[in-house]
Amino acid sequence: MRKLFPLAIALLAALVSTPALAHAFLDHSDPRVGSTVAAPPHELTLSFTQKLEPAFSGVEVTGPNGSSVGGKAQVSGNTMRVGIKGAGPGAYHVHWHALSVDTHKTQGSFTFTVGGH
Amino acid sequence: MNDLLIYARAVHFAATMMAAGIVLFDVCVAEPAFRKSPSSLLAATLRRRFAWIAWISLALCVLSGGAWFVLTAASMSGQPLAQICAQDALWTVLSQTDFGNDWFVRLVAACALAGTFVPLLSANGAASPRLKAAAAILAAVLVGSLAFAGHAIGAEGAEGIIHPAADILHLVAAAAWVGSLVPLALLLAATRKDSTSLAVARTATLRFSTLGIVSVATLLVTGIVNTWYLAGSVDALTETDYGRLLVIKIALFFAMVGVAAVNRMRLTPKLVADADAIAAQRARSALCRNATIEAALGTAIIAIVAVLGTLPPGSHANHHAAEGLIPPDAAFQHIHGEDGMADVTIEPGHVGVASAAVHLLNDDLDTLVARQLTLTLTAPAPGSKAVTRSGIVDADGTWHVNGLALAAPGNWTVAVDALLPSGKHLKLTAPIEIDAK
């Protein structure tokens, strides 16, 4: 039984070097990730796999010309919503960062395209 | 910093279990046992020892809880530890996050519990039934609310209610059982002198037996519920770090149950039987030793739980990313797209020449087959040229790209373009952090 203590410590030591992986993943978005939509959306909605902490979660949306087109992100439950100021056709870049209620951070990005060719 | 967090959690869990356990033991096992015997010197001595343990455990609980709070706030806000107090991140975490709110409730519960210690554990045992009930409830709140600082929260729907409920019961049962082992061993050791104190040992052991059976049954049922939600599949138990540690925890639990079974079925009857006083004393001594062994097993379980909370749970909803162990010096990114996902591992994840491994997955987390795959890396500096290379697939379906020159550290952009059998292109782009050499 005395062997259990060093074993437990060894287990701890062996595992503390693993980087902590993320918890709240992007489940789906609207407009969908990588999709093309006809008209600029009024709002971007991101749905995550876990409930988020509003104080530490947000999203930046960049329009085709590189300017920021997203308003302030509204976070409730596992959903993040942000208003989009339409900036014409082209590729819109979305970068989100999230803190799940279980205290782990995640981030990610994707693009969607508006109209045109 | 992750190591510090694990140590803080380990100390905090052990101290909380000990503080809550000793209160529950005192109220449910010790005091009833003392009533049955007029030996007030024995009772006074034990109460004094319990008081020592209770105060020290609670102090450790509050201190380690503070450390856990500060370390978590630093991680949540991204602030370095040295600057954390200067920013208002601590206040934001305390007031605006579930973790912070729960921490504050627990601090209040700990202070209230401390308030009950003086009358509860006073040498003459004059605590009223209402005080005992209040102390027991506060102890249950202190340990049960740990559920809101772990993986049991965050899900939506039915799981969002059932999982925390199961976890609360799991924690209280664990504290009642594991936390009682040390005071039980102390009580058994102190009752070796004469037949009056043996009577105390008998009553205590029988009452603890009931407490133990209820706790084990609760732990078993709630443990299954928790495992169902967190591991999600049998594969996750063997293929994820989380799962493997969980298996060890379960094995240790059954080892404890094994010892408890010996206690209940062989030693307790001998202790309680009136006929042979010598056999009863030997049984008492054996029970004392076994309780100590169980306490050691319980401590190992607590150490494992301290690590488990820092790992991603194995289930689908929580573990989209790679099942294997990610090397500590690798850079990793999980990219989620409309037609599939990719796990990109760049090793080594610092300046120099690196190799990338790309694992494509569909929504069901099965490996996605592609006919071709290219990887594009763009350096952090604006206006950098993107470098595109083709990948080679191996027998597992993982794509490899070698000889990637990473000239500068920072936030690179990685883009995966996979040609699927349907003819569609799966295009995924994400930032990936490359460290300095």
Residue A14 has pLDDT above 60, yes or no: no
Q: Within this chain, do residues B354 and B304 fall inside the same structural domain, yes or no?
A: no
- Residue B169, pLDDT score: 95
Q: Within this chain, do residues B109 and B163 fall inside the same structural domain, yes or no?
A: yes
**Within a domain: A4:** no
Q: Within this chain, do residues B12 and B91 fall inside the same structural domain, yes or no?
A: yes
Residue A23 has pLDDT above 80, yes or no: no
**Within a domain: B323:** no
Q: Answer whether B332 sits within 8 Å of A34, measured CB to CB.
A: no
Q: Within this chain, do residues B294 and B373 fall inside the same structural domain, yes or no?
A: no
**Residue B344: strand, helix, or coil:** strand
Residue A102 has pLDDT above 50, yes or no: yes
pTM of the model: 0.72
Residue A70 has pLDDT above 70, yes or no: yes
Last residue of a domain, one of B261, B296, B318: B318
Q: Within this chain, do residues B168 and B247 fall inside the same structural domain, yes or no?
A: yes
Structural domain containing residue A92: 21-114
**Within a domain: A13:** no
**Interchain contact A50–B (C-beta under 8 A):** yes
Per residue of chain B (437 residues), give pLDDT as tens: 678 888 899 999 999 999 999 999 999 999 998 886 655 788 889 999 999 999 999 999 999 999 999 998 888 887 777 776 766 888 889 999 988 999 999 999 999 999 999 898 887 777 889 999 999 999 999 999 998 887 777 777 788 888 889 999 999 999 999 999 999 999 999 988 777 788 889 999 999 999 999 999 999 999 988 888 777 667 667 777 788 888 999 999 999 999 999 999 999 999 988 788 888 999 999 999 999 999 999 999 999 988 887 776 765 444 444 444 566 678 888 787 777 888 888 988 888 889 999 989 887 677 888 999 999 999 888 888 888 999 998 887 889 998 888 888 888 889 999 998 888 888 888 888 888 77
A117 pLDDT band, cuts 50/70/90, is very low
Q: Within this chain, do residues B254 and B339 fall inside the same structural domain, yes or no?
A: no
**Interchain contact B159–A (C-beta under 8 A):** no
- Residue B385, pLDDT score: 84
- Residue A27, pLDDT score: 81
**Within a domain: A3:** no
Q: Within this chain, do residues B170 and B307 fall inside the same structural domain, yes or no?
A: yes
Q: Within this chain, do residues B218 and B346 fall inside the same structural domain, yes or no?
A: no
- Residue B257, pLDDT score: 94
Question: Which CATH number do you get for residue A73?
Answer: 2.60.40.1220
Cα A100 to chain center, whole Å? 10
Q: Which of residues 221-260 of B touch A (CB under 8 A)?
A: 241, 245, 248, 252
- Residue B251, pLDDT score: 94
Nearest to A110 among B97, B155, B337 (CB): B337
Q: Within this chain, do residues B273 and B349 fall inside the same structural domain, yes or no?
A: no
**Within a domain: B425:** yes
Residues B344/B416, Cβ–Cβ less than 8 Å? yes
Domain count, chain A: 1
Q: Within this chain, do residues B33 and B159 fall inside the same structural domain, yes or no?
A: yes
Question: Which CATH number do you get for residue B155?
Answer: 1.20.1630
- What value does the mean pLDDT take over residues A26-34? 83
Nearest to B312 among A21, A101, A111 (CB): A21
**Within a domain: A56:** yes
- Residue B222, pLDDT score: 93
- Residue B87, pLDDT score: 67
- Residue B113, pLDDT score: 95
Q: Within this chain, do residues B410 and B264 fall inside the same structural domain, yes or no?
A: no
Query: So what's the ipTM on this one?
Result: 0.72
Structural domain containing residue B338: 331-434
**Interchain contact B396–A (C-beta under 8 A):** no
**Residues in contact with A7: Cβ distance below 8 Å, sequence separation at least 6, in sequence order:** B300
Q: Answer whether B154 sits within 8 Å of A50, measured CB to CB.
A: yes
Residue of B nearest to A94 (CA): B430
Q: Answer whether A51 sits within 8 Å of B156, measured CB to CB.
A: yes
**Within a domain: B113:** yes
**Interchain contact A14–B (C-beta under 8 A):** no
Domain count, chain B: 2
Distance set, CA A90 to CA A86, A113, A115, B148 (Å) = 11, 5, 7, 44
A16 pLDDT band, cuts 50/70/90, is very low
Q: Answer whether B326 sits within 8 Å of A19, measured CB to CB.
A: yes
Q: Within this chain, do residues B307 and B335 fall inside the same structural domain, yes or no?
A: no
**Residues in contact with A69: Cβ distance below 8 Å, sequence separation at least 6, in sequence order:** A61, A62, A63, A84, A85, A86, A87, A92
